[in-house]
Amino acid sequence: MSIPPRFVEDLRDRLTLSEIVQRKVKLSRSGREHKGCCPFHHEKTPSFYVNDEKQFYHCFGCGAHGDAVGFVMQSDNLSFIEAVESLASQAGMQVPKQSPQEIEKARTEKSLHSLVEDTCKWFEDRLREGKNRDVLEYLTKRGLSEETISGFRLGYAPADDQTLRKFLKDKGYTDAQMIEASVLRPSQTGREPYGFFRDRVMFPVADMRGRIVAFSGRVLPEHIRPLKDPTKKPPKYINSTDTPLFHKGRMLYAQQHARSAANDHTLLVVEGQMDVIACNQAGLKGAVAPLGTALTEDQISVLWKMIPHERKEPVLCFDGDNAGYRAAVRAADRILPLLKSNQSVKFAFLPEGEDPDTFISSRGLSAFEGKLSNALTLLDFLWTHHTAEKDFSSPEMRAGLTALLDTLAAKIQDASVQYHYKQAFREKTRGLFFDTGSFKNKNTYKKKALAPSISLPAIRKKQDFVPQIVLAAVINHPFLYAHFAEQLIQLPIDEPDLSRLFGSLLDYLGAVDTESLDKQALSLHLSKVGLADIAMKLTHERVYLHAGFCRPDANPETALQGLKDLWENWERSRLAEDIHSARAVFRLSMTPENESRMFALQQMQRDKDTGTD
């Protein structure tokens, strides 16, 4: 079996080398690289370096050197094919067999790379022809230097739709290849194929290795090219269609420039190519832009992979208009399910009518950097979007907000991040409902005193005691985490000490084999992180009076069944509360969505009552 070289290249691009190496070697940051003790020879002083940007590792002690595939081969004693299969499994990719068709595909891609590169050079040459001086002057009047124009390889596609075709034919390319590379369009009327881009400024699009794979063409302004028919305005940008080399939803404009800059600068996502270039020329080298689409899940993953630091938080910068704000809302909704520990985004908004290009030109780089430094976290953006200038003076509106925020947090797939979002939303709603003017001096809703840390004697009902019981059960019987991992993130914990303890438990238990973990190992961990005293307050006789199954001497079967019964009763209680809130929201706003939510909750209750859930 042989593996297509292109697949191995794509696999390397999907993976972060330091993350693979860290499974075998403890690494620490060292400038733009990571370093640690070499796994291939014994040493006490680290001489083993990993460079994510260049995708290789090197040991200055023994000379070991290679990429992700080589590391897995050497560290796990695998063959090349076995190592590729192992890494592909981690990346969620299927290893293709290099059939005759795959071999032909590799040849085709090699030819297309040459064709697109030749096309790019041709566009660059056309920009500098004397008859196209007005196009070059347009770019320089926009503030672009010769260095910037050359660095981004900007060009010009003439209005004549056959000159590029003739040039490429003279170099031996066929019409079929040109159409496949998206530099020609097939005619729908039986005439010859014609240029895909005509009378446009050309922005080449490169892959991570800097190879040109596609183009984006910008229409010239009307003072340079008056419209023949003012009623038919062409689109501002047109982009290459997807090809064997280019997938619009997986690439970002200028990603090859921003990848190295992301080591030292903020990684910034703007809306257009000229915005990217304006940022770059002003000194912000880490700017990228999507290519005519809303930011996709694949592009978000590319952004996080480009940042070599542990904390991956690119800034999404949106134009100051309604379209920009709507794009931000869509991006937030798309990003939520993808969040992981230390992986998020921030949101920056420019004044109305401004984009990065105009803002930097009129106000300067410092003012723009000020906007970026004040960017909102994803949490704060969601909160502001759903609460700003809204009235929450009624119980129904409060219930609606709480339900909405719970729905948003539930979209997050990472259990630990979801838990912390739920806690943060609860803290914010508590502040909004009880600590602000909206509810002060109201006869019905008085400001509540904060509960003392783990106030066990104050609790009267077992239902109110559920979080303490669950935590005590998991501390005394860690194996329970494996059975209740998904349910645990739903625990509503408001007390600060309990919240810290629970967050630490989730992080620790999620990273170890809980089926074989004993209580002593967990106790040692809690002592190391300074939470042993809080845990001791939970594992107390007063807790066991409410639920004997969580005692440390309870047998595993009793503990498991006891927690299952407790959880089922608690879920029924929560479901009843949710139904009550949904009815209140529906009475307030009788929309189809609110009605569907109410009916769905009622059906869930019926299913539980009949045992069909």
**Predicted confidence (pLDDT) per residue in 422-449, tens digit:** 999 998 888 888 654 444 433 333 333 3
| pLDDT tens string 62-76 | 888 899 999 998 888
* pLDDT at residue number 5: 77
Dist. CA 154–CA 127, nearest whole Å: 8
| Tokens encoding 156 | 């010009």
Tell me if residue 237 falls in helix, strand or coil: strand
Cα 103–Cα 108–Cα 112 angle in degrees, nearest 5: 150
**CB atoms closer than 10 angstroms to residue 56:** 17
Dist. CA 348–CA 370, nearest whole Å: 10
Stretch 547-562: mean pLDDT: 87
pTM tops 0.75, yes or no: no
Beta-carbon contacts of 546 under 8 Å, excluding residues fewer than 6 positions away, are 462, 465, 469
Q: What is the CA radius of gyration of the chain?
A: 30
Sign of CA dihedral 431, 437, 438, 443: positive
* pLDDT at residue number 449: 32
* pLDDT at residue number 445: 34
pLDDT tier, 270 (very low <50, low <70, confident <90, very high otherwise): very high
CA distances from 62 to 51, 57, 59 (A): 17, 12, 6
Dist. CA 482–CA 370, nearest whole Å: 46
* 458 pLDDT higher than 60: no
| pLDDT tens string 508-518 | 777 776 666 66
Stretch 18-25: mean pLDDT: 89
| pLDDT tens string 365-400 | 999 998 998 899 999 999 999 988 788 888 888 888
* pLDDT at residue number 436: 45
* 594 pLDDT higher than 60: yes
Dist. CA 178–CA 165, nearest whole Å: 8
* 590 pLDDT higher than 90: no
248-389 under CATH 3.40.30.10, yes or no: no
Domain 99-246: which topology? DNA primase DNAg catalytic core, N-terminal domain (3.90.980)
| pLDDT tens string 317-346 | 998 788 888 889 999 999 999 999 889 999
In this structure, of 174-188, 429-443, 444-458, 523-537, the range with the lowest mean pLDDT score is 444-458
What is the CATH number assigned to the segment(s) 5-91?
3.90.580.10
Sketch the domain layout of the chain as residue ranges: 5-91, 99-246, 248-389, 429-595
* 570 pLDDT higher than 70: yes
Higher pLDDT, 457 or 418: 418
| Tokens encoding 52 | 């994510």
